[in-house]
Amino acid sequence: MKLCLCSQADILDGLVPELEKLVGKNAKDMSVAFIVDAKSNIVFNKKRHIDELYRAVSKFGDKIGLINLYAITGKEIESSLAQADVIWCLGGNTDYLKTVFDKSGFSNLLPDLLKRCVWVGSSAGSMILGKRLDHRHAMRHKKVETYGNTKYLEILDLAISPHLNADKYPEHSMEVCITESKQNKFPIYALSDKSALIIDGEKTYMIGTECYKMVDGHIKEQR
């Protein structure tokens, strides 16, 4: 698998060179499919979502696709992604996104897609591949619908904790990340909005600033 997992597009300038290495093409020559479901169907105010999409699209050429998984299923999804070098899943509500993945059949298609496409995740698009942090969800979404989800895809044996120390998300503090790490047996990667986790097969490394790998309440790696 080749993955670029981040919080949001603030890391774009550092992310694009990594993406070019993983894909083996110049960014302007890549075919990129953006999955927009995490916010598109449940949130009216999408300005941040649109701004992030615009910034991301500006780094690539003309081969851009917008995928709404709730509008298509099965063979149509496969056909829409047949030419994609990169699948970029934007952020939003991770529990809602998991429901969309399951109902559309995308959850079943994804393992095979990850064998040939590079995955870029922003926030929810990163979190969904790994483990679900119940403590974080309880803090942030006390009255928000979970859509019956108790876990994410768990393709990765780790959790992504995005937006570390972001002003908009005071619950995403280092103290909370350490607490979560003590409560779970798997690694947790705490990523600021200016960092990303890169996975290239067996090789895993972080780029940017303010990013930490935590195990059992201790920082094992940082950048």
Instruction: State pLDDT tens for residues 198-223.
Output: 999 999 999 999 999 999 999 999 99
The predicted pLDDT at position 103 comes to 92
On average, the pLDDT of the chain sits at 89
pTM to 2 decimals? 0.92
Instruction: State pLDDT tens for residues 186-198.
Output: 999 999 999 999 9
Identify each DSSP E strand in the chain by its residue range.
2-6, 32-35, 64-67, 86-89, 118-122, 159-161, 188-191, 195-200, 203-208, 211-215, 218-222
Instruction: State pLDDT tens for residues 28-49.
Output: 999 999 998 866 555 555 677 7
Q: Over 80: is that where the pLDDT of 138 sits?
A: no
Q: Which domains does the chain have, with CATH numbers?
A: 2-222 (3.40.50.880)
**Contact indicator for 86, 105 with CB cutoff of 8 Å:** no
Q: In 3D, which of 191, 183, 189, 194 has the Cα closest to residue 213?
A: 189
| DSSP character string of 103-128 | HHTHHHHHHHHTTTSEEEEETHHHHT
Q: Which residue has the tokens 């679900």?
A: 132
Q: CA quadruple 195, 182, 169, 36: dihedral positive or negative?
A: positive
